[in-house]
Amino acid sequence: MILISKYLVPKGYLGLTLFPFVFLKASHLKLNKVLINHERIHLRQQLELVIIPFYLIYVLEFSVRLIQYKKWHLAYRNISFEREAFSKEYDLDYLKNRSFWAFLKYLRKK
């Protein structure tokens, strides 16, 4: 399900996924296949980790990355969940063949 809410999506971001919802900054973004694929990858990640642990790991990893990189955007872009989603967002068939817990491949530092 996709909901449009410019108020729930933080400034500087286009979408936010909180299982089972995808919040988008604007209604025209529903047509952005790459963005929707990115958010669907997050839905799969959240489901694999039984939802709540996903958020705990996400916040923990973001905190570690923030200490590591000292910049909000760099920390965000280097969270394993985000690295997977960004690297595969243009592959619209990715979720058909994605292995279970594929985000683990993205834990290593670049």
Please name the residues in contact with 88: beta carbons below 8 A apart, sequence gap of 6 or more.
Answer: 37, 41, 94, 98
Confidence (pLDDT) at 5: 86
Beta carbons of 15 and 43 less than 8 angstroms apart: no
Residue 6 CA, chain-centre distance (Å), reads 18
Confidence (pLDDT) at 7: 86
Neighbours of 77 (CB within 10 A): 14
Q: H or E segment at 26?
A: none
Confidence (pLDDT) at 2: 81
Confidence (pLDDT) at 1: 75
Alpha helices, DSSP H, located in the chain? 33-48, 52-69, 72-77, 80-88, 94-97
Exposed / middle / buried, residue 46 (Cβ in 10 Å: 0-12, 13-18, 19+): buried
Q: Is the pTM of the predicted complex or chain greater than 0.75?
A: yes
Residue type, 67: I
**Low-confidence residues in the chain, pLDDT < 70:** 109-110
